[in-house]
Amino acid sequence: MPERGGVVDGPLSMGNAISLSAAKTKGLTSLVAGRADILVAPNLEAGNILAKELTYAAQAEGAGLMIGAKVPVMLTSRPDDERSRLFSCAVAVLYAHWLFTGHSAVEPAALKEAAE
């Protein structure tokens, strides 16, 4: 698999993380500002606020997985539907696979097709 990398930046406000026009208005020149693919929260409370904001304000679908404890913890909310719970299970399985093997469970060709 070819080398892959990423760019990490922050902290960024929600607007500056996901809106290129907001980032430009503020004069941010970051490669991430306005183009964030992943949003990371500093703690459980902030993560919950972020998840609710995306779910209710943007009709986003998501999965919840907390890492860093002795074992990964799937995070779901009481009002989550079956699809969100299934997504959380899928992310947990993919993460467990990576922990045990050190490799993605998704073939590189599938990753390339998904990106196109």
With a cut of 90, say whether residue 114 has pLDDT above it.
Answer: no
Q: Are strands 65-66 and 73-74 parallel, antiparallel or unpaired?
A: antiparallel
**What are the respective helix, strand and coil percentages of the chain, to the nearest 5?**
45, 5, 50
Task: For residue 24, tell me if it sits in a domain.
Answer: no
With a cut of 70, say whether residue 111 has pLDDT above it.
Answer: no
Task: For residue 5, tell me if it sits in a domain.
Answer: no
Task: For residue 110, tell me if it sits in a domain.
Answer: yes
Q: Which residues contact 54 (CB under 8 A, 6 or more apart)?
A: 60, 62
Residue corresponding to tokens 């490799």: 103
Mean pLDDT of the chain: 85
Task: For residue 7, tell me if it sits in a domain.
Answer: no
Task: For residue 14, tell me if it sits in a domain.
Answer: no
What pLDDT score was predicted for residue 1? Answer: 47
Task: Name the β-bridge partners of 34.
Answer: none
Structure token digits, residue 103: 């490799």
Task: For residue 22, tell me if it sits in a domain.
Answer: no
Mean local confidence (pLDDT), 78-101: 89
Say how many domains are in the chain: 1
Q: What is the pTM of this model?
A: 0.62
**Structural domain that includes position 54:** 41-115
| Structure-model confidence comparison of residues 108 and 21, the more confident one | 21
Task: For residue 87, tell me if it sits in a domain.
Answer: yes
What pLDDT score was predicted for residue 77? Answer: 83
By residue count, the chain amounts to 116
Mean local confidence (pLDDT), 76-84: 87
Cα–Cα distance, 93 to 75 (Å, whole number)? 14
Task: For residue 85, tell me if it sits in a domain.
Answer: yes
Task: Name the β-bridge partners of 66.
Answer: 73
